[in-house]
Structure formats: C-alpha cells, structure tokens
Amino acid sequence: MSDDARPHAPILTVTVNPALDVTTSTERVVPEHKLRCGGTRLDPGGGGVNVSRAIRNLGGITTTLYTAGGPTGQAYRQLLEAEGLPARVIPIAGSTRESFTVDEDSTGQQFRFVLQGPELAEREWQAVLNAVDQDLPEGGYIVASGSLPPGVPDDFYARVARLASRRGAHAIIDASGPSLRAALDEHVHVVAPSRRELAELVDADISDLDTQIHAAQQLIADGRSAYVALTLGGAGAVLVSQDEVLQLPAAPVTVRSTVGAGDAFLAGMVLRLAQGRGGAEAFRTAMACGAATAALPGTALGDAATVARLEEVLAAA
C-alpha cells in the first residue's frame, strides 16, 4: 500500500460558493477587439471541491458537500459526478457562478476573472450547516474553504468550527477577512493565510519574516489555531505550531498556472494529518502538492507520482 493510500480519519470538505472553472487561451489580451481563443477546459472548481479532488489524486477519500443551482449548477454536478467523488449537494435557487481564466500565449501571463456567487437565502446556507452537523464524523477532519457568496453571514465558518468542536473534529478553514477572523475566535486546527491576510488578522505591519513568524506564533498562543501555514509565494512557506517553526523553499518547478495551487497545498496537509503524520511531513507534502499543481496548465491538479517526486526533492532541501 502506498503512503498516500494509507487509511486516514474521515475528511469532509465544504464549498458554499463553488465555481464552474472555464479555462482557455489567446495569443494576446487587448481591449475592444474580439479575442479568438483556443480550446476550452471545464472543471468543477471552488475551494473545498478542489481540496477533495486533490486528495482523490493522492489516493485519499473525502465526502464533498457543496451547493449547486441553475443551468451552471447542473453542468457542475455532471462534471463532478463524472469524477466519481462521493458528494452531497445542497440545491439552491440561484445559478452556480463561473470563473474564467485566460492564458496569454505571447507573454505567458494569466488573467483570472472570478465572478460573484449567487445570493443564498437563509434556508439555503442553514441547509449546508445542517448537512455538516449530520455528516461530520467524530474525530474527523472538516475543510471549509473558499469565499462566501452574498447572503451568507460572516460567521458562517465560525459556526462550522463550532460544530467541529462539538464532535471532537479538526476544523481547517481557508478564508480571508471577517469570515476568517470570526472562525479563529472558535479555534481551528489549520489556517493557511498569505502575508497580506496574516497582516490583516493581527492588524500590524509584518513586512519581514521574523515579524510574520511572531504574528503566527501569537495566533497559536492565543488559542486561535494549532497550525499556521504561511505561504510566501516564490520564497516558499513557513509552518508554525506550538512546538516548532519549519521553513521550506518553493519546489523547483516552472509555474504554468496558480489556479488551485493553494487548494492542493491544503489537501496535502490535511491528508497527511488525517493519516496521523506529523506536522513536518504534512508540510512537505503540502508544498509538493501546491508545486505539482502550479506546474500544470489551467485548473488541472497535481498527480501522486509528481507529488512523490517533489516530496523527495524537498526532503533533501
């Protein structure tokens, strides 16, 4: 049995604002002209769903909870069903949003257009919370990830974290702004902010690595999170826990698309933790997963063989 296929604690992912990812390319992006595009790729995207898809690529199993509605939602459901992911769908009245990514062939630049999600009625987002309450396994892991659509309160992820606490489960929250701040007030297991997001959380200037690490340590000392994974772009990442500070460089890959890389990072981290691995190994897998995804075009997610190879590279770093 491979390491990735080892048994692991149950994992539930939650995506309240999924997106049908549309990816294409054109020679050059210019205003006012019709831009003839190349082939189009469609993927079922959104934070938690991408985490589930990345964990599946590594040999793990999750339950995927997400909302869907309208013609776009129907297309989204068909794509996800074709991938064979165990899922529970919460129907909504509005139409699932789309995200549009264009690769500019002449420069290699990528343009990402992220549309606003449909407004959810209270009964709809409450239905998501009810499903979490029903499906969340004792002692398992829940990954609640992505933006909140209009109509969903800022404390939505805090409510998810509260439900996790009642079940003795580990909450991993990937959000930003008021929704992340509210979730941290309930204590979570893992957060993975960018430098900007961390600065907003501590309301301070953290322009150098030492102050960034100190800010992450303060979140842990305050009991707001057990792990803080601080992503530093091309400079790699830092994982801070109560016991240690770990730093890894960016894996040596040629970046082709950053879409889904953060979700893949989180997937590697969660899967290893759910397997009972330590923080250092989980962090290394997370870095490898993010890099393997960034090396692929469009919204494709890294595969297990590439992740394993990059893990070896990072282990020797």
Which residues are catalytically annotated?
263
> SS3 for 98?
strand
For residues 86 and 73, what is the distance between their CA atoms, to the nearest angstrom?
Answer: 17
For residues 64 and 89, what is the distance between their CA atoms, to the nearest angstrom?
Answer: 8
Please report, as a single letter, which amino acid is at residue 115: L
> SS3 for 272?
helix
Please report, as a single letter, which amino acid is at residue 47: G
284 closest CA partner among 241, 316, 242: 316
Radius of gyration (C-alpha) of the chain in whole angstroms: 19
For residues 157 and 169, what is the distance between their CA atoms, to the nearest angstrom?
Answer: 14
Please report, as a single letter, which amino acid is at residue 237: A
For residues 285 and 255, what is the distance between their CA atoms, to the nearest angstrom?
Answer: 18
For residues 52 and 168, what is the distance between their CA atoms, to the nearest angstrom?
Answer: 21
> SS3 for 126?
helix
Give me the DSSP letters along 7-58. Answer: ----EEEEESS-EEEEEEEES---TTS-------EEEEESHHHHHHHHHHHT
CA dihedral for 177, 162, 237, 215, sign (positive or negative): positive
Contact between 42 and 298 under an 8 Å Cβ cutoff? The reply is no
> SS3 for 51?
helix
List of residues 6+ apart from 128 with CB closer than 8 A: 14, 16, 65, 67, 90
If one counts every other C-beta atom within 10 angstroms of the C-beta of residue 142, the result is 31
